[in-house]
Structure 1
Amino acid sequence: MATVFDRFRDELDQFGDRLKEAVESSKLHLERSSLIGVRSKIAYKLGMAVYKKERGGEANQGQVDALFAQMDDVTAKIAGIDRELDGLDGETVRVDEKPAPPADPAEAEVAKP
């Protein structure tokens, strides 16, 4: 009887581990999505500053440099999250990594008219 409870406890532990990994992955995806939004806003501001400068307007070079620094920082954070997500997903096997085994050849039917 103890083995049934041991198996049940092991299954619960495995389920808990998978749930913990799923929650961690979800948090990372949410943080990544937020950073992508921030990156988009920075890119918009940077694009508008370059547009003003190209059209002969006044563009504050200090502001442009600060936007470039922010863009580099956010891009580095996104790359770090991507590496963490790759580490979490590295334990699973995807279909494109391990193709299905080849099927056995079958004989074709020949229909005579």
Structure 2
Amino acid sequence: MSKNILAIDDSASIRQMVNFTLKSAGYHVVDAVDGRDGLERAKSQQFDLVLTDQNMPRMDGLALIRALREMPAYQRTPILMLTTESSDEMKLQGRAAGATGWMVKPFDPLKLIEVVRKVIG
């Protein structure tokens, strides 16, 4: 059975690229358009991995990660930030919020697959 991944980004082109990349590697991908949408999807279905952007309307990535980590079902689920933010300060905030890892956009599709496989198999 393929692993379920929740991909959250307010950019349609990034969602499309993540979706295509991960589906071609055999994963099942569900999209969300911002943090609030992602949180609602996470409440209705269990995911093996959450990929989220940081800068989004309605709820940013750090707020989303904090909200997910408060839910028993997502306390151990890997959460990767996929964002244009690359400062050490932002990475520290991500780690403090509960992010498992960090990738900077634009991303290399093969590197994304490699990281996802390392985290969830």
Which category describes the TM-score, using the shorter chain as reference length?
under 0.3
Q: Which has the higher strand share?
A: 2
With the length of structure 1 as denominator, give the TM-score of the two structures.
0.17
Structure with more of its chain in helix, by fraction: 1
Of structures 1 and 2, the one with the larger relative CO (CA 8 A, separation 6+) is 1
Larger Rg: 1
